[in-house]
């Protein structure tokens, strides 16, 4: 395996999932590892114990300004690199991610708390963006045509938009950076990336792999920070030409408003409230199986996770029983333990938010069919092997939920399935679409004509039809309504980083 070469003052050695490996802990600025200008650090917490296990350098606004200077300095040269050069670099990085897959998976499970099978799945998924956009880099095309009036020729070409600020969330610390970086590099843009404060280590490890792959100094820089505003302050810089953000709707909308003042191109992947609809003609066993896939990856801490289970009343009892059975089979434990299938939530704040949502749902009339806050309170008895300081929440099924409940109108981001019953397809569609969000949706049905017509009327940017997993690097990812702007992945993803230029020829 290719060895990392990080100065000892900017690295630490971690043990996880039976591995011992070196991890960067500095800022990655101008192609070098260094401390933040104020000497501050961020503590990274093990969600399974509630204790810090690593300290990472924290960037200041001065560091962000310096990173911007370096990105601008190399932007023109990077834009002039050949498509083949950019393609081959991304392919080398794809190979390195797979070469270091075990370390990347263990690192994610350590800093996020996520079960190893989910972390391994993310490494594979994240790498696919590198491979996909390595193929797109050499396929950027233009157009040549006769003007309709016959008085010249219309030629279109593309050029990179310029320096990019990429802000990523904590729940997919590897895939969210590859989803943004790969098309940006393929297009010829430089990138300044800010990882989430809760999970900065994975992106820092990835940055070292990028250095090994040959990304030129200053083309990709990583700035962990204890205050996001220190890096988002770059939105006032006229030289910044693109913002890509994944995170909460409130923060994304605020950043977009700031970016608009400089007319900075913006793409946003924001919150969701995904419906999972089980139509009257659905196969219940299949619906339960796909419901688990749509809900429980990463203990439910996924933007496209099913949030509202909307089930035809004729199938509801059987579906609820099946869901309780399958969710009761999850094994809680530290994410790095090979026996674990569901790790803790990422933070105490996240765990407490889920607990409060469940309490409110019960107060409003929901029935706890599995788990819930009583099970949380008894974890010391039922799971004495779990560290009481970890951020645990048991797999939970709530029934008797209605569209008016608070839990039906908020993104849960935890292992809680809230089931609503409906009496018709039209009622199901109305309930599914009755939200300001529109990121993902799911529908299950065996009558394909009815099922596809239902899917086409769902107000979501992505719809899983008889499947609970829909993310694919070769498909466009993004939402409608208040779930975002633009698309990542697919053929569309690289367009977010390209300006179209029209040449008028007098021929």
- To 5 degrees, how large is the angle CA 18–CA 20–CA 23? 130
Phi then psi for 194, rounded to 5 degrees?
A: -115, 110
* Catalytic residue flag (residue 269): yes
CB environment 208-234: b (16+ within 10 A), e (fewer): bbbbbbebeebbbbbbbbbeeebbbbb
**Contact residues for 263 (Cβ-Cβ < 8 A; gap 6+):** none
Residue tagged active-site, from 66, 128, 208, 269: 269
Asked whether the beta carbons of 244 and 238 are under 8 A apart, the reply is no
What is the DSSP track for 104-146? HHHHHHHHH---HHHHHHHHHHHHHHHHHHHHHHTT---EEEE
Residue 349 host element (H or E): helix 348-364
CB atoms within 10 A of CB 155: 15
Structure tokens at 331: 């094994």
**Contact residues for 459 (Cβ-Cβ < 8 A; gap 6+):** 432, 433, 438, 441, 480, 481
Q: If we measure between CA atoms, which residue out of 318, 277, 311 comes closest to residue 294? A: 277
Asked whether the beta carbons of 415 and 115 are under 8 A apart, the reply is no
Cite the active site residues.
269
């Amino acid at each position: 395996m290719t060895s990392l070469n990080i100065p000892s003052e900017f690295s630490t050695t971690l043990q996880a999932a039976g591995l011992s490996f070196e991890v960067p802990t500095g800022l990655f600025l101008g192609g070098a590892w260094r401390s933040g200008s104020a000497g501050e650090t961020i503590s990274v917490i093990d969600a399974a114990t509630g204790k810090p296990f690593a300290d990472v350098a924290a960037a200041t606004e001065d560091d962000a300004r310096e990173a911007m200077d370096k990105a601008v300095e190399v932007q023109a040269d990077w834009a002039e690199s050949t498509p083949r050069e950019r393609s081959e670099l991304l392919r080398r990085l794809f190979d390195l991610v797979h070469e270091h897959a075990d370390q990347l998976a263990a690192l994610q499970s350590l800093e996020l708390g996520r079960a190893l099978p989910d972390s391994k799945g993310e490494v594979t998924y994240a790498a696919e963006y590198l491979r996909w956009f390595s193929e797109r880099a050499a396929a950027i095309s233009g157009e040549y045509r006769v003007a309709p009036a016959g008085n010249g020729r219309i030629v279109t070409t593309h050029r990179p938009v310029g320096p990019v600020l990429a802000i990523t969330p904590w729940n997919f610390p590897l895939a969210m950076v590859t989803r943004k970086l790969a098309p940006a590099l393929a297009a010829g843009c430089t990138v300044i990336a800010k990882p989430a404060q809760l999970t900065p280590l994975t992106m820092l490890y990835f940055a070292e792999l990028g250095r090994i792959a040959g990304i030129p100094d200053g083309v990709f820089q990583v700035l962990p920070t204890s205050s996001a505003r220190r890096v988002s302050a770059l939105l006032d810089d006229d030289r910044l030409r693109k913002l890509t953000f994944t995170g909460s709707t409130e923060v994304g909308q605020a950043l977009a408003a700031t970016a608009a003042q400089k007319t900075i191109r913006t793409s946003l992947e924001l919150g969701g409230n995904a419906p999972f609809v089980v139509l009257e003609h659905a196969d219940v066993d299949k619906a339960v199986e796909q419901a688990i896939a749509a809900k429980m990856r990463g203990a439910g801490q996924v933007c496209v996770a099913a949030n509202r289970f909307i089930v035809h009343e004729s199938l509801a009892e059987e579906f609820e029983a099946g869901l309780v059975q399958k969710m009761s089979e999850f094994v809680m434990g530290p994410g790095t333990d090979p026996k674990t299938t569901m790790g803790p939530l990422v933070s105490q704040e996240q765990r407490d938010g889920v607990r409060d949502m469940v309490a409110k749902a019960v107060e409003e009339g929901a029935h706890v069919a599995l788990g819930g806050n009583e099970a949380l309170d008894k974890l010391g008895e039922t799971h004495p092997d779990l560290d009481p300081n970890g951020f645990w929440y048991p797999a939970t099924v709530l029934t008797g939920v209605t569209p008016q409940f608070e839990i039906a109108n908020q993104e849960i981001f935890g292992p809680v399935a809230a089931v609503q019953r409906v009496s018709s397809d039209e009622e199901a569609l109305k309930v599914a679409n009755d939200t300001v969000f529109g990121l993902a949706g799911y529908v299950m049905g065996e009558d394909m004509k009815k099922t596809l017509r239902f899917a086409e009327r769902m107000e979501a940017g992505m719809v899983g039809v008889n499947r609970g997993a829909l993310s694919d690097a070769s498909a466009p990812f993004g939402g409608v309504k208040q779930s975002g702007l633009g698309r990542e992945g697919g053929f569309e993803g690289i367009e977010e980083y390209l300006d179209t230029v029209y040449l008028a020829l007098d021929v």
